[in-house]
Amino acid sequence: MTDAAAVRLAGVSKRFDDVTAVDSVDLSIHDGEFFSLLGPSGCGKTTTLRMVAGLEFPTAGQVSIFGESMGLRPPNKRPVNTVFQSYALFPHMTVRDNVAFGLQMQRLDRDEIRDRVAQALALVQLTGREKRRPNQLSGGQQQRVALARALVNQPKVLLLDEPLGALDLKLRQAMQLELKDLQSRVGITFVYVTHDQEEALTMSDRIGVMDAGRLLQVGTPEEIYERPTSPMVAQFIGDTNLLTATVKGDGQIELAGGQIVAADIAATPGTETVLTLRPEHLQIVAPDDPISDGHNALDGTVTRRVYLGNAVSYDIVAGDVTLRVRARNAPGRRQYDVDEPVQVHWARDAAIAVQR
Contact residues for 307 (Cβ-Cβ < 8 A; gap 6+): none
240 lines the binding site for other proteins (CB under 8 A): no
Helix (H, G, I), strand (E, B) or coil at 28: strand
The number of beta carbons lying within 10 Å of the beta carbon of residue 73 is: 14
What's the closest the beta carbon of residue 130 comes to other proteins, in angstroms? 18
17 contributes a contact to other proteins by CB under 8 A: no
Contact code string over 90-129 relative to other proteins, x by CB under 8 A? xxx--------xx--xx-----------------------
Q: How many residues bind other proteins (CB under 8 A)?
A: 23
Beta strands at 34-38 and 352-355: parallel, antiparallel or unpaired? unpaired
- Residue list 152-171, contact with other proteins (CB under 8 A): 153
Least separation in angstroms between CB 89 and other proteins: 8
**Segment lying near other proteins (by CB under 8 A), choices 85-93, 250-258, 302-310, 327-335:** 85-93
Q: Is 75 helix (H, G, I), strand (E, B) or coil?
A: helix
Structural contact between residues 121 and 150, judged by C-beta atoms closer than 8 angstroms: no
CB of 35 to other proteins, least distance (A): 19
Q: C-alpha distances in angstroms, 346 versus 229, 281, 325?
A: 20, 6, 10
Among 24, 28, 66, 88, binds other proteins (CB under 8 A): 88
Distance (Å, rounded) from C-alpha 103 to C-alpha 216?
A: 38
Least distance between other proteins and beta carbon 100 (Å)? 10
Give bridge partners of residue 315 from the DSSP assignment. 304, 324
Q: Does 76 contact other proteins by CB under 8 A? A: yes
Residues 174, 195: Cα–Cα separation, whole Å: 18
Q: Is 19 in the site for other proteins (CB under 8 A)?
A: no
Which residues contact other proteins by CB under 8 A?
A: 53-55, 74-76, 80-82, 84, 86, 88-92, 101-102, 105-106, 149-150, 153
